[in-house]
Structure 1
Amino acid sequence: MKKYILPVMTTFLLVSCNKIEEKIDQTVQETTEKVQQKAQQAVEETVKKTVNESINSLTNSQDAKFNEVFPTTGSTIVTEEKGKRIKIPGRPEGYIFKYKADITVLLPFLEGQPTSDESKSEKKARKIDGKSIVDKLSFMSKFLPENTFDTSFLEDIKNDKSIEYYKLKRFPNSSTIIYNPKNQTIIQYVEVNK
């Protein structure tokens, strides 16, 4: 009987040691995975915060008025106006305006704006296909920090087939105009090339 007790005890000890070793390995592996996951999450949050801060510091935006860029002759052609002046390093100064206006009044007004170089200017606004504009806006909105601009209008212009798009270059200003005929809302981006 003593012959059997020693091998049985040895086997029992080996099995117990193996189970303890497996439990230790499992605990170490679970802890390592949790630490890696938390580290990755911390890195992602830090990168997002840094990118947002960098873009915010690069994008210097301030309130702007439509008549700062397009002086009027006393008659108001835009209502419910909101505007931002944007300066991005390496790009010309730009303005984004959102307002309500009658497009049949607005376009002739913009076409009649003075130009500093007639050879670089267009006399009439061109109606264009808006797909490339929508694509560019969608792409750019992915990189903007949260709450920089209200991008909810993107869904409207993607889905509404009645939206009209225009381009007009009256040097030094180059305008891209998005017009919703249902509510006469206009979003206009003006790039000033000096």
Structure 2
Amino acid sequence: MTEQTNDSTLGLLLRKLLKERSLSMRNFSELTGIDTATISRIINNKRKATPQHLEKFADCLGIPLINLFEAAGYPLEQKSEESHSDIHASVDAIQTLLETSNVYDNQFSIEHVKQKLKTFELYAQTDEGKNTIINSFDEKIQKVGSIGPFISKLKELNMKFLSRKGTIFELTLIGSTLLYFIIPVDVIPDYLFPIGYLDDAIAVQLITSALLKQ
């Protein structure tokens, strides 16, 4: 009974979001790459959405992944008050997704992403690092083939980096994020699509928060 209620909640939420964005199920299918019949069954409570479905829905609709996990009835453990922030909530959702997907055994944490970003900061200041961003960003965006706040924010950061508008510190932070996205040495491997790009979204959130504090 509980599962049915949760699934129904997800269906109602998706209907509301699609209506607000003037999207038909067919439009939504084209944007997410998920079959229209599958979306219809999820919305009408005839099948349970997988974590992969939810990640694509969240990216397309521009809402926190955590919201869809909760609506779908996936258990999300809140370990502390800090977990209520967008970044920590997203990490909780990613960890749950990895566990339920059963494709990647490593533990995911914000610290792992921070360490990787740190390694790219110096590289972002070199000519080689700058050229990597200039020559490879658009190609990587096309490879991902996605839309939503994660990709939109990356494009915004890339434009700022290319225009060189900002302090050296700001451009270094932005460059480290762009390199994290471009170079395939992520905390979660990119080949685990679409799971592999979730840590890139966390990296974007971390740098965006850091830039807002400047």
Same fold, judged at TM 0.5 (above): no
Larger of the two Rg values belongs to structure = 1
- Using the size of structure 2 for normalisation, the TM-score is 0.28
Greater helix share, structure number:
2
Greater strand share, structure number:
1
